[in-house]
Amino acid sequence: MVLRTDFMNSPEFAHKLQTLTKNITSVIHGKDDVVELCLVALLARGHVLLEDVPGVGKTTLALTIANSIQSSFQRIQFTSDMLPSDILGVTIFDQTKKEFEFREGPIFANVVLADEINRTTPKTQSALLEAMNVGQVSMDRHVYPLPRPFIVLATQNPIEFHGTFPLPKSQMDRFLLRLHIGYPERSHEVQVLREQYMTSQESTVKAVLTAEEVIAMQELAMKIKVDDDLLDYIVRIAEATRRSTQFEIGVSTRGAIALRRCAQALAAVRGRDFVTPDDIKALAAPVLAHRVQVARTFETSGFGHHEDEAAIRAVLNEVAVPI
């Protein structure tokens, strides 16, 4: 990837992204597209939901990204008996000071790995809403800002697994991207088997970016140019989902904004200071599919577990691309 040296007056931008990508792909083999989209979420100040069966590298990917950034990290293992205070924190009475004191929970970190988020109850899941949406926690009439940058990398098992609670749409909407890792190709799986230390390899990854550098890159990415024709294209995609009989609930304005932000970040990752229609088309499914409700007639049309993504792609084929 090569960026013009005058790109946002930051010639180091491309080099930093290359270094970060190389750091992650040294552990995650054969999933460059997934790694790219995780970097998109990081630059766009969003959160990622990694949805797939156990054992394909969801947790490893999240840990590797966290270890590649020189910032605070917390891992939350979600269970059915977890309470909101186990995530957000709790107010206790300090006997020595004779006053109440707020003890921060694990959500107060730059990178939070929410492992198996759908193992816990909806009440605990909803505790993440404010934190993921506005980067703060409200507790006992006080507001506590979260550190910056702040990103939640959540893993989720398919809802068909026993002991899982489907995430409500309000929670799903807070994730900028929903990604599926999938099984590796044979050659990459052989490489994983050859590297017997792979299970702990992510812990040896060294940080290549500081928190301050990540924040600066986020600000640069959001200055990527988006022509009005492309903004109109995004809105027309959203409107198409609202009119289509394939959906009971279409894309909201929040979803359209998310698609624009991701398109800007993807353009930056790919070395451009402007967005193209291909950026929008490439991101439509991972950004929008988890925000819609597919009609029941479409659910039984043979598209399997990812019928929402298939429905989004069908809409893309119907919306004219700006020239």
Segment 69-123, tens digit of pLDDT: 888 889 999 998 999 999 999 988 888 888 888 899 999 999 999 988 888 888 8
- In CATH terms, 224-323 corresponds, of 1.50.10.10, 3.40.47.10, 1.10.8.80, 3.40.50.10490, to 1.10.8.80
Q: Which segment of 22-26, 103-107, 121-125, 159-163 scores lowest on mean pLDDT?
A: 159-163
Q: Give Cβ neighbours of residue 172 (< 8 Å, ≥ 6 apart).
A: 49, 178, 290, 291
Ranges of each domain in the chain: 11-208, 224-323
pLDDT value of position 304: 45
pLDDT value of position 297: 73
Q: Are 62 and 50 in contact (CB under 8 A)?
A: yes
pTM of the model: 0.87
Which residues are bridge partners to 142 per DSSP?
Answer: 139
- Which residue has 């926690």 as its token pair? 137
Q: Which segment of 85-89, 220-224, 292-296 scores lowest on mean pLDDT?
A: 292-296
SS (H, E, C) 282-318: HHHHHHHHHHCEECHHHHCCCCHHHHHHHHHHHHHHH
Task: Count how many Cα atoms sit within 13 Å of the Cα of residue 190 in the half-sphere of its side chain.
Answer: 3
Q: Are strands 209-210 and 69-70 parallel, antiparallel or unpaired?
A: parallel
Measure the CA–CA gap between 155 and 61, rounded to whole angstroms. 10
User: What integer is the mean pLDDT of 158-180?
Assistant: 80
User: What integer is the mean pLDDT of 305-311?
Assistant: 82
SS3 248: strand
Report whether pLDDT(36) > 70. yes
For 15-43, b/e burial (b = at least 16 CB within 10 A) is: ebbeebbebbbebbbbbeebbbbbbbbbb
Higher pLDDT, 213 or 201: 213
pLDDT value of position 4: 45
pLDDT value of position 240: 95
Q: CA 70: distance to chain centroid?
A: 19
Summarised one tens digit per residue, pLDDT across range 278-287 is 999 999 999 9
User: Which residue type, as a one-letter code, is found at position 84?
Assistant: P
Q: Are 40 and 150 in contact (CB under 8 A)?
A: no
Higher pLDDT, 38 or 5: 38
Q: CA 264: distance to chain centroid?
A: 15
Q: Which segment of 14-18, 124-128, 196-200, 240-244 scores lowest on mean pLDDT?
A: 196-200
Report whether pLDDT(162) > 80. no
Residue 241's alpha-carbon distances to 54, 235, 246, 250, 284, in angstroms, are 32, 10, 8, 5, 12
Q: Are strands 177-179 and 136-139 parallel, antiparallel or unpaired?
A: unpaired
Residue 13's alpha-carbon distances to 5, 17, 43, 223, 274, in angstroms, are 9, 6, 12, 13, 15
Residue 88's alpha-carbon distances to 100, 105, 131, 139, 200, in angstroms, are 16, 5, 9, 8, 28
pLDDT value of position 303: 43
CATH assignment, 11-208: 3.40.50.300
For residue 5, name the pLDDT band (cuts at 50, 70, 90): very low
For residue 163, name the pLDDT band (cuts at 50, 70, 90): low
Report whether pLDDT(218) > 50. yes
Q: Count of CB atoms within 10 A of residue 13's CB?
A: 23
Q: Which segment of 41-50, 152-161, 223-232 scores lowest on mean pLDDT?
A: 152-161
pLDDT value of position 1: 42
Measure the CA–CA gap between 250 and 242, rounded to whole angstroms. 4
Higher pLDDT, 153 or 197: 153
Q: Are 233 and 94 in contact (CB under 8 A)?
A: no
What is the residue-averaged pLDDT of the chain? 86
Q: Are strands 209-210 and 293-294 parallel, antiparallel or unpaired?
A: unpaired
Please provide residue 97's backbone torsions phi and psi, each rounded to the nearest 5 degrees: -90, -15
For residue 203, name the pLDDT band (cuts at 50, 70, 90): low
